[in-house]
Structure 1
Amino acid sequence: MRIAHSSNNPAGSERPTLLAQATPPDNGERRTVDGADYIHFNGYWVRYYPPLEESLASRKTLIDHLTRRAFHHTEPGINTPGERLDTARAHYQNQSDPAMKRVNAAMLAGALFNRATDIFTAIVELEEKGVRISRDNELMRACGDYFKEALELGRDVRHFSGEEGIDELWGEPFRAFTLPITAYYESRFVKVAQAMANIDKVVARIQQLYGDRPEFSEIGPLLENYSSAAKHECETMKSDVCIFDIWPRFIASGELLGNVQPHMQQNCSRECRYVMEEALKTLVAGRNLINWIARARVPMPRSSVAYFARCELLGERFKSC
């Protein structure tokens, strides 16, 4: 969650242990540890930031940020200016090649998002001049329709890795337009908790696969450090001063994990060496998946399923070594 005011008491570079209690906390329960606020959802404590005030100007700030963030995490070439909406729609409707039509749909979705934010910017500017615009106004209805259509096309928009759609992220500007700001913030805390759970599942699978291999005997602490750093990055605003500790730790621990080299056994065959090469590639792929989940702040279920299948194949090959 990035849209909020900076914390006066930023958390340190290590996430505190908050779940050591006999009775599991309720969803939405909040707690302050070392000057930092946390909120609990689905077994995870997530860094809490207070919502922006409820106003059109605040909603515009939120939507602008979420739109930029959506484009940042999705495939290139789809950030179509709003004034080119009609052209983008015509090319989408006239495209017959299925693979190209998917990309045209993503470009159209980008144009719809930008047209909606253009309209909403004009509405906020009118309000600042004293002109009140109701939810039933034609401009507001058009803005909502553009956001909704962009959301419906979100299934054709892929993460920049190309591995899967990321409609959870793509739908956030629409939710920020339709929900009260406090409700939108709560939905984001839930998504961050889900992203943390996804990270833990990926980490557990890597640990299960590599933990007993003597070639990767040092992987445990490196994996644990990266997991902790990834979850910390996932929950922290860029405007929070603690990001200057958290982001470097996230990047550095990921580099250490990605630079692991196997300790080849003396009797390692040529086939075993090929297996170790694949093991390195699979480890880096897992590190990358954790990176994508942490930065997008949403779970990536399809990429995770594909990665787990890759781990299964590697596990079978490990049996030959």
Structure 2
Amino acid sequence: MDTHGPVIRLAQSPGEEAPPPEGTRRIIARQERAFYCGYWVKTYPLPADSLQGKKNLIEALTRRLFNHTEHGLNVPGARLTDARAAYEAETDPASRRVKGGMLAGALFNRAMDIFRHLVELQADGLEILSDYPLVQECGRCLMEALELGRLVLHRSGEEGIDELWGEPFRAYSLSVEEFYEGRYIKIGQCMRDIDRIAASMSENFGRIPFFEGIGPAVTDFAAAARVKCETLRTDQDIFDVWTKFVTAGERLAGFAHGNGRGSRGRPSGRRLHDHANGIELIQAGRLLIFYIVRARTPMPKSTREYIERITYYCDRGRMPR
């Protein structure tokens, strides 16, 4: 096994026994972990599987959604009728996409308004059943928001993160235990993609003299990113975890801006590599890992396209136009 801080990664070698089944639990260094995507992901105690517990969870997921998507989508639920009218009247495709995202935001907020009322009714002693009209309406709002959420981009403008739109509905429709298990899977996927991005950066930039020696800076940043990915803000060690993540990213950025051991214009084999393009790509990789870590959701399109761009740059000396 390969250990980088608290995160335990399974390093499979020829002749070793097969990895455990996905979802396997083990106590490692006095911490329960679940095995997903080749990583032992930190688990957390489950909150109460109650209407109040789900309300708190969905509120947190909704805040996280608006924090990582385009600006302007946090439309109050009270304006749902106005948001729908604006969306249905729009004919320009680009404007319709934006207004669809605003309608999705209003639907999410309407669902939360309903949840608050349901919790209040339950607190007054009313039994809330699954066929209760307000429960059904809440589910419809979340489902429609999920469909419209496919129109919305991540705040970076690079791609949508459908998982963020689906999480409140999953929290509403699944048990708390099932929902948390899904989150561990997503965190394992994030760790896998962080390492894919880091491996591509180390392999490709390591072949270019100007960026010689970048490997350790990339490795340290990826290791800190994996730890942050599984660490909640409420964890006792969040101050150290976040600080290590940020400072590792700063060291990588500093390396790109002049701490390398090469020199501008120095040939790599038979090819000159554009220095400015290289710096831009390193910064793009750093930002992409930041986006994945903060959202704790994989970004497959951005990851794939970044790896393609960095490979193109290494092979041809410049970024694709």
TM-score normalized by structure 1?
0.90
Moved over 6 A (4+): none
After superposition, where does 1:136-175 map in structure 2 within 5 Å? 136-175=131-170
Residue aligned with 1:311, SS: helix
Q: Tell me: CA distance 1:82–1:23, structure 2 relative to 1, closer, same or farther (3 Å).
A: same
Task: Report whether the alignment pairs 1:306 with 2:297.
Answer: no
Structure 2: distance between partners of 1:97 and 1:23: 54
In 1, Cα distance between equivalents of 2:4 and 2:74: 35
Q: Equivalent residues in 2 for 1:153-232 (5 A)?
A: 153-232=148-227
From the superposition, tell whether residues 266 and 240 of structure 1 become closer, same or farther in structure 2 (CA, over 3 Å): closer
1:163-198 deviations in whole A, cap 9, x for unaligned? Answer: 001111121001100011100000110011111111
Q: Percent identity?
A: 44
C-alpha offsets along residues 119-155 of structure 1, whole Å, 9 cap, x if unaligned? 0111011101111111100000000000000000111
Correspondent of 2:5 among 4, 14, 20: 14
SS at match of 1:299: coil
Partner of 1:291: 290
Offset of residue 246 of structure 1: 0.5
Aligned to 1:87: 82
CA contact (8 A) 1:54 1:181 kept: yes
Q: Secondary structure at the match of 1:131?
A: coil
How many Å separate the matches in 2 of 1:274 and 1:90?
52
In the alignment, is the contact (CA less than 8 A) between 2:265 and 2:275 conserved in 1? no
Residue 128 of structure 2 is aligned to residue 130 of structure 1: no
Q: Equivalents in 2 of 1:79, 1:283: separation in Å? A: 32
Shift of 1:312: 2.8
State the partner residue of 1:5.
none
**Partner Cα separation in structure 1 for residue 139 and residue 20 of structure 2:** 37
Distance, in Å, in 2 between the alignment partners of 1:128 and 1:302 is 44
Higher relative contact order (Cα pairs below 8 Å, separated by 6+ residues): 1
Contact 2:8 2:41 in 1 (8 A): no
**Residue 166 of structure 1 contacts residue 300 of structure 1 at CA under 8 Å; is this kept in 2?**
yes
Contact 1:176 1:184 in 2 (8 A): yes
1:127–1:258 Cα change, 3 Å: same
CA root-mean-square deviation: 2.0
CA distance in structure 1 between the aligned counterparts of 2:43 and 2:148, rounded to whole angstroms: 31
Match among 27, 30, 50 for residue 25 of structure 2: 30
The answer to whether the Cα contact below 8 Å between 1:13 and 1:242 also exists between their aligned partners in 2 is no
Unpaired stretches in structure 2, ≥5 consecutive residues:
none
How far apart are residue 265 of structure 1 and its match?
3.2
1:53 is paired with a residue whose SS is: coil
Contact 1:209 1:311 in 2 (8 A): yes
Whole-angstrom distance in 1 between the partners of 2:264 and 2:6: 40
Matching residue of 1:8: none
Matched, 1:111 2:106: yes
Matched, 1:256 2:247: no
Give the number of aligned pairs. 306
Amino acid at match of 1:307: Y
SS at match of 2:34: strand
How far is 1:90 from its partner?
Answer: 0.4
Q: Could you say if the C-alpha distance between residues 213 and 110 of structure 1 is closer, same or farther in structure 2, counting changes exceeding 3 Å?
A: same
How far residue 41 of structure 1 moved from its aligned partner, in angstroms, is 1.4
